Structure 1
């Protein structure tokens, strides 16, 4: 009944205000409903976006943790590889020592047996001769002193040989003891090396798991564009590192120059003092000549030659120079250097790097563990893990020429180490999140990158 009444009222309203008003009211209700639906959809979309951002943040955090774990694995593998190499060197040294001890032991045994045989033969002959021989000697009518001396000599010989055998036995026991200790040490080294090898294998397995997780997370986050951004950031960080190192080198050069200038100033002051003293002595000699006194000898610059502390006023000042880690002639080696590792060059200087910046060096394909060699002599100024580059080594060749070696499996040198051309400084790998095993290699001068192939002998 109430529903019918409402319908009737609505009909009367429509009749009173006309059909147009009714249509307008219906449209208004429809728009209100659409607005409500749109707001609900927007709120739902905002919730989805918020949830998606939360998921992205979680995934990015998970990827960061995976990258950190991967970095730790790579650093641990580098340390394990270095320890394993040290243990192998110790094993070789212990085996050499053990070989020498065994040879010494064999020689002593042979000598002991020889002395025992001689003593046994001597005692047997004495036993066969018996006391009658000694009595015959006493009654032979010979010189009694000679007889007594001969008898004492026979006793002395047997005692001496017995002492010699005892000494040899003592030496043999000492050698056997050292041999046993060397064998025990070798066994311990073998056990430690085996444990270290197993530890490295476990680390390699962990590294593969971390790398697989990083790869999955990278795919989920459309890693190609993100990787390009990370590469630019990594490049900026490396450029900052280069700038800081250049600044340190320049500061050192300024300090060396200031020290050289101070030394030159002190040298000039000593020269002036020497000249002043020379003039004073000359004046004194002239005065002594006038007064009739015997003049004191004046030491000339030539007389000072025998004095290592003398200063020659005509000595030219030493040329100011900045000491470098190498000969300072690295630029002369252009076109004569060799690649740090043999392998296929997968990426060349200046070529496009996916969606990221161009390659600033070479990427050379090489199996894990392949030896990486220094292209020239110099000093190691960086040897550590670096984000985006993995285990990295930088060698300063003097005159602000650097060579960079990254993505290594293991770093085999420390900061401050001096290296020569061809020295092994690292082993190839894929640290830094690289999928391909190999070496990333750069040559820089004053922080600027150059095409390494212009410096390499092309075969």
Structure 2
């Protein structure tokens, strides 16, 4: 009996790994009546099982593929760092806006305090002209009881107005103190953010340098173009096996995403990102062959083309950082070579929601988005689904 070929060994290892993962999760009935939180946990477990299965696949290859393990590690760290940087920048932008609003609020309060002080000064001046004992003067100098009553009421109103001004001033002073405390707290947080941003950017620079070194090592392993094409074919076979098994598991969920009528939008879906077409369906290399490759600047937002649920967001051989959205009706869309993820597994998304950012993960030399559509587990031409431009 002849030994199995490399491709067959990979397929067998993948099938065994996924089968073990499925048994570990339990029979289909385990999914029944689960809450959204429970389904999210199950999806996260599914992602972990897919990663474990892929690790077992890598164990079937020769030692030259150790560069893939290193690439996975550094690109995963890069995605985490980039995601943290993005979060810090958003927090800084929000704090900057709040600081600007607080400063405007303080200016308004100071102007109001100035007006209150001026009005109080006018009232105090009027009382001063009446002398130290105005009530006694009114009683001694006035013989008309009605006029005396009117003047007494005026004096009472003046005293009330003065007290109201004093109370208003005290309140304004408290508000100004609170505003100043908030400004100081915001500024301290901004200083901390600036320090962390600097540290994260330095980390990002180091990680990028490490990635470049790994990529050089990764490319050196190919002694010929034929060897490179063989490795890319292996990656595509691995991906096909893993994605087919994932589709099978998702179909067994008792709480799958409801129908989003995505079939009715065929030919009308928006582009996930605007950019130059680098490769069309059937013409790409490796895993990129089953979809389209769109060139765009690193960090460009990637949008969901239709409503659905995120079922996978992790690193996968060939794809790099890969995000998968299940749209129901046995249709999934894949977004790969991402720089970072902006949504988590289990998240419900709608058309146009930001999912991630364009990157170069998966060993690419330049940033691009790989976009794929799968129907019933099989890849189909995305150009039949998205709108022409």
Shorter-chain TM-score: what band? 0.7 to 0.9
Q: CA deviation at 1:171?
A: 1.7
Q: What residue number does 1:432 align with? A: 362
Structure with greater contact order relative to length (CA < 8 Å, sep ≥ 6): 2
Consecutive unaligned residues in structure 1, runs of 5 or more: 1-56, 257-322
Deviation string for 1:332-366 (max 9, x for gaps)?
1111122211111111111152xx57711111111
Q: In the aligned structure 2, how far is the partner of 1:198 from the partner of 1:82?
A: 13
**1:17-68 C-alpha deviation (Å, 9 max, x unpaired):** xxxxxxxxxxxxxxxxxxxxxxxxxxxxxxxxxxxxxxxx88764x356324
Q: TM-score, normalised by structure 2?
A: 0.73
Q: Would you say 1:351 and 2:283 are equivalent positions? A: yes
Match of 2:379 in 1: 449
Q: Quote the Cα distance in structure 1 between the aligned partners of 2:217 and 2:354.
A: 35
Distance, in Å, in 2 between the alignment partners of 1:227 and 1:384 is 24
State yes or no: 1:360 paired with 2:290.
yes
1:160–1:228 CA distance, 2 compared to 1 (3 A): farther
Shift of 1:438: 1.2
List aligned pairs for 1:217-296, cutoff 5 A: 217-222=217-222, 227-252=228-253, 255=254
The DSSP-based 3-state class of the residue aligned with 1:238 is: helix
SS in 1 for 2:290: coil
Q: Counterpart of 2:10?
A: none
1:113 partnered with 2:125 = no
1:389-408 aligned at under 5 Å gives the runs 389-408=319-338
- SS of the aligned residue for 1:359 comes to helix
- Would you identify which runs of 4 or more consecutive aligned residues in structure 1 move more than 6 Å? none
Contact in 2 for aligned 1:325/1:396 (Cα 8 Å): no
Q: Secondary structure at the match of 1:181?
A: helix
- 3-state DSSP of counterpart to 2:80: helix
Q: Does 1:330 align with 2:262?
A: yes
Over the residues paired in the alignment, what is the CA RMSD in angstroms?
3.1
Q: Shift of residue 162 of structure 1?
A: 3.6
State whether structure 2 residue 274 is matched by structure 1 residue 342.
Answer: yes
Instruction: Flag the 1:401–1:97 CA change in 2: closer, same or farther, 3 A.
Output: same
For normalisation by structure 1, the TM-score amounts to: 0.63
Deviations 1:159-199 (A, max 9, x none): 42342233222222222122212322332343243234323
Post-superposition Cα deviations, 1:406-426, rounded to whole Å, max 9, x if no partner, equal 111121111122222222211
Flag the 1:82–1:237 CA change in 2: closer, same or farther, 3 A.
Answer: farther
Bigger Rg, which one: 1
Deviations 1:381-423 (Å, cap 9, x if unpaired)? Answer: 1223333222222111220111111111121111122222222
Is 1:71 the counterpart of 2:75 in the alignment? yes
CA contact (8 A) 1:91 1:186 kept: yes
